[in-house]
Structure 1
Amino acid sequence: MSKINRAWNSMGVLHPMVMAAYILVSSVTASNAVVSSVTASTAVVSSVTTSMAVNDSIGLSQYMIDGETLVSKNGLFELGFFRPGNSTKCYLGIWYKKMAMHAVVWVANRVNPINGFSGNLTMDNTGNLILKNNGSVVWSTASQREPRNPVAQLMDSGNLVIWNGGGAESNEILWQSFDYPTDTCLPGMKIGRNLQNGSDWRLTSWKSVDDPSPGNFSWGLALSDYPEFAIMNGTKKFSRIGPWNGLYFSGLPNLIADSNSGIIFIDVDNQNEIYYTSSSKNDSIISRVVINQTSKAYSRYVWVEKTHTWSVFESLPNDVCDNYNLCGAYGSCMTTAAQICRCLRGFRPKSPEAWNSSNWAQGCVHNEPLSCTGITESTDGFVKYTGLKLPDTERTRLIDTLDIGDCRALCLNNCSCTAYTNPDIRMGGVGCVMWFGDLFDIKLFQSGGQDLYIRMPASELDELQDSNNELQHRSKNNKVIIVSTVAAICGTFLLCVFVIYRFRRNSNEKSKIQEYMEGYVNDTDLPLFDLLTINIATNKFSLDNKIGQGGFGPVYKGKLEHGQEIAVKRLSHSSRQGMAEFITEVKLIAKLQHRNLVKLLGCCIQGEEKLLVYEYVVNGSLDTFIFDQAKSNLLDWPRRFLIIFGVARGLLYLHQDSRLRIIHRDLKASNILLDDKLNPKISDFGMARTFGGDQTEGNTNRVVGTYGYMAPEYAIDGLYSIKSDVFSFGILMMEIICGTKNRALCHANQTLNLIGYAWRLWKEEKALELIDSSIKESCVISEALRGIHVSLLCVQQYPEDRPTMASVILMLGSEIDLVEPKEPGFFPKRVSIEANSQLHQCEVSTNDELTVTSLDGR
């Protein structure tokens, strides 16, 4: 569906997700910058020094320090360093300059504050803004396009824009802060979803007035066929305003008649993006939308010049009926009623006792059951309900080419369809939207609201509504009903016989191994998914949904009914190894929580199926980026350094901060997943092992892992420890820096792997030749060399010489002197005559993609 709709509206909402990059990069040489500053704020900004400069931009090699600011052309907005509330921590942000209360509208480094007064903002030669604290990068922009005389300019809209070509005249944007809002939405911002790259434009609350880091509450678009806005408390819906119907949000019908706000509301929905935005009819009207952690509300503020204050124009939740799903399924909420929750006409409380005690969570059910079985013709019909906030649209289907009559017929012939209406109420109603399953979060209005046609059994149908149409519809299909009924009875009988047979067979075949595995799952309190749910989510494990294959078995992408995307690891039925891995993953990571570890959502043990359900990580594995010539350009040096740090933090958590020491034993590029912000997440814990608090190493007769990443003491003697993971991390770090797999390379008639080649260049003081050509322009040479140095320390021959992950993080993030590395634990590749006959001379592989699971340690 493609449409651009305009209406006078007081709701301006929009925003993408904030991406605050925690990157440690050395300082960039900078010269003079153009700056100004502001007086101390009486509201959010508590300490900013004063200056008379009024410049609005910063260019290449210019800088801005704490106490200096940029001011937009007409002096409406200001960018600089501030300290919120009573906090002593420093942030880079944008705030209103002319208002008596300098409300902050955007924060750059909200998750990584600066201590002291050492903040420094510069623009480097890649056209990116870099925020540093004592030489370490705490935030940066992420433009990957080639710059031509880039200039960062603070606009009078409150948008910080990096223009390509010298200024706004070029009309070419490299980066803009409007794409990364924090808790505030300004006119012109978008809120919704970029369907091409998956960016979620969303507002996220501050934790408190003293802490702008992301809180629990967010405001954004809940994506479905018929999308709508919702306030989220974590991952749960807190309040919603109903879908947009062409004139207003169905839950805010009063706003269509109110033009005092002077806000033009725009809805855009096409194949590239779906979002809502607003603009001001009159430049003198200054408004902003804020999601607030303390008030648990989404509020629109308008500046009142007379009183020099921000006035709340609209807020959500507005009343108790705006609390999500207060009245349960088929329950309607009305604030003016004696009892605010009541069942819709034709429904009764599911639990009368609970309902009378004002416990409405269980909702309502039909007075009489529906006749539709999915096999025979339905005798159901529809009753028109008026003045509603439409139900939650999570399970809907939108067809904008159908009229309301065709919509009714289509819904009637689908037994899962429970309601329908027009998604666009203009011009008498346009299009078709259908609901499937129970209807939740309905609100009744005394005036306004929207029509909804809800499925009802024939006994409940109003004689004045649709009765003639229903009779005609039934008479035309009497013959079909008789034939269908007979066929249905036979089919049902055969189906019952088959189900009974399968149930008895499965019960008899249930093994002790299955009971053993179920016991482990029950002990972890891990959610158990039903196999039917997983089948629906993955389209019955369709090949089109397959996204990977490992020794454990295939991995499929899926989507749950409420829209959450998942990755499902399916244990191969013939894999004895996979059963042990299944138990291991459930035991080890069910309760692990870290931003750099992939999250296990649950599992499924049903019949012969053993399934692990993970969060879906949208950008796949790291190896598909760094080893691909086209995609490697998407990972510049700052991003690669961020990935290295993320993996290091995840390993440190496993080795030191989790309840048990956890040794991953299979760390490699293909087991590092990248989310929508390219943040790394360590995955695949099927080969991991745990240690007690005082235990430091172990021994195994079953060596598992991947050639090219295994430490020598582990591959040869079966000895593993946290230093085994450090070795694998060193290999991984070298691959990230070099963009090359740790496989055999042909140099000077010798066959060496990447580490052997790197060691030789290091000894010859030619380490710069190792750096991936695709990152040389964005690379900070001193950091890359330091990374190579630390990598070589990690892959030293003897475990006692290797650093811990805590030391690795310290060495990468500081300027401390490093010891000279000793010879790494690599071996020149010896290739048999038979192997040489099969492989090209300069493409000898060390099989670093092969997962080894059956070697005997000596």
Structure 2
Amino acid sequence: MKGFRFLLLCAVAYLLLSSVAAVDTLRHNQTLTDGETLVSSGNIFTLGFFTPGNSTYRYVGIWYANMSVQTVIWVANNQNPMNDRSGVLKIAEDGNLVIVNSTGVVWTSNVSNAGNDTSVQMLDTGNLVLSSSSNSQNYLWQSYDHIGNTFLPGMKQGFNLKTGQQWYIQSWESLNDPSPGDYTDKLENPEFPQLIIRKGDEKHYRIGPWNGVRFIYGGIPLTTGKIFSPTMYSDENEVYIVLKTSSESITARTFLNETGVLQQYYWNQQAGQWIDVLSMQQDVCKKYNLCGNNAVCGSTASSTCRCLKGFTPKVPQKWQMQDWSDGCVRQTVIDCEKEYAFMKLTNEVNLPDLLQYSVNNSMNLQDCQAMCLSNCSCSAFSSLQMIGQGSGCALWFGDLVDLRADTDDGVVLYLKLLPSEIDSGGGSNKKRRLVIAVTTSVVLAILVLVPLGWYSRRTARRDLRGGNMFTSQELGHEEELELPMYDLFTIKAITANFASSQKIGEGGFGPVYKAQLETGQEIAIKRLSKNSRQGLNEFKNEASLIAKLQHRNLVRLLGCCIQDEERMLIYEYLPNGSLDSYIFGQHSHLHARHGSLLDWKKRYDIILGIARGLLYLHRDSRLRIIHRDLKASNVLLDNELNPKISDFGMARTFNGEPVEDKTRRVVGTYGYMSPEYAIDGFFSIKSDVFSFGVLLLEIVSGKRNRGFCHPEHELSLLGHAWNLLNEGKELELVDPMTGKEYAKSEVSRCIQVGLLCVQRHPKDRPTMSAALSMLDSENIILPHPKEPGFYTERSLQEFFSANDAPSTCNEMTVTLLEPR
């Protein structure tokens, strides 16, 4: 009896040592031969040898346990199959998991310095892991890092930014051959992720992009009802998506088949089969960019494809033959000198592919629109805040690629077009055309009758005044305005008939000439150009406003000339020109000659002078005035480099308390305009405060806000200054031309006040009275500024291609934006 028990114990021990059929772990000195398996502890997954389909080869793989249909989810030696059943899976002497047969090593986990205390375990998640006994939770190798054609809940699909590893799905060559096939499903663009299915290098299908909450695409990407839900993880080391199921009891998988179709399945236990929940490429429009560039794919009764509004088929003959591959082109070629607006496409198209794009997760809708308007190549933008619960902004440049009709996913795309292209329409616009016709008739009548009456009154008054003075009624005001009138003959004589040698500059209004009166006084003559985007209204506005203003920090208007077709304003001549020539050095000889004069003391005096002039306009003048175009080129310097604010053609008046108003025509210069004004047309005294803050930071730094470039980031001057202040390094902003001798506390205070003035929201900005007090006092404790408006100012061309040459920073100034 004792002998029998001994033999029984030996037999049990032998079975435990030689066979691991009932365990999930393989250790040193243990082997798994063909016909044996490792089974996860919950009896969910099995690791063993198998033969796929009609093949005769043997592989080591993982499949679901206890299913009537063998479903393989991972293969080890998919590129090196075995011809017979001599294969063995074991832990090698160097600690790696290996497959060997009669010919030698067939496959290895290939981990360097694995150690001699490793083991491999089959987990219930379907992950096969190699770890050391001293630290079993720190995997030395795992099958999850080497995805095949099946993506399981818990797997990562994306990037390891630190090591360069990428996790992606790859199809089998065929059902009988698990070697890598032609199709891959990869997460691309780490900063704005989207899934791309490719055949080789050719794109076949696109899912996304990810907006921070979900993938944006037709309501179906990896979000199939109550079964699947995706989660995106992102940090400085990794960006990846993980697919989860709504319940642990659900067995589900995503599968890329040998024809490149991405399918999602769940296991129906009662039916004993896999249920196809979704095939991603389920209709013709799922083919990548089927309709070509700038065209929308959406099957209709008349056609599969249509051009975006404002576009037309590139090759109409092919289009008629149902060949849309050439796509569409703009009906009107983009002209960078023209003004553009945006057509809002809500639930009409998906977001285009990310070929030439920019994305910023901190931008709001206003920032995004302003940036797209300021870049000639920008075609469209989308505010991700309007999609689900995401945030941020994306811009597209050049052609818009892979557009599909999208009617229910909450996508909002803003397409840049000419205003006339947006307003044009079909039968639904009959009412609009009727209104336009009536309005046109009224306007024509006004244009005929009003000038006749105005000319009669003007002639009568000129007869009475002898042509020497004119009233402000001609400028749209009721009271008498005693402003000297210069005749055209005199102006031509003292400018040598507007000789180029007399010309000293040119702005949005027109050219400026220097001349000298018979009295010896030097004057500057600003002549309205026929090609100017400003007109008689701006001329009248400036003449009527500035004539009433008297302040040492405002330029002085001496008179005007209105004769024949000429419109001119006569100013005091300021010999040192505009401030921008000094701080930006666009004229190298001026910068070399005067730059040293603009030490910190002089710059500080200029800042205070501009602040006092602006405060006078807002609070102390006879007419309360919002300038609306404060910038470095509109600040002139006298003999002693005292600043004088000029150019009041865009100014607006207000009475009593500060106001917030909306204009139908946004005017000014990008880089200085506040967000609420540049985007929505809302202006107030806080708009001027924003411009002042920009100008203050430009004076300190010697750099333009518009077109600012930094080798280490893509922020605007405002964003750069804000970051430096947060890091306690604000003095790094100071222009080297300022010199090394300056009061650090004074400079720091100026930078902080500048940033307070350029905060995104108007309510957060100080008034000019408060700003001047903060600048002029050392004892005031300043609040910390919030993030500035237009925080980012990217060199957008760097997004066009990773292989492009470094981009350059070019300034684009817009002085007039027509009604949107």
TM-score by length of 2: 0.49
TM-score by length of 1: 0.47
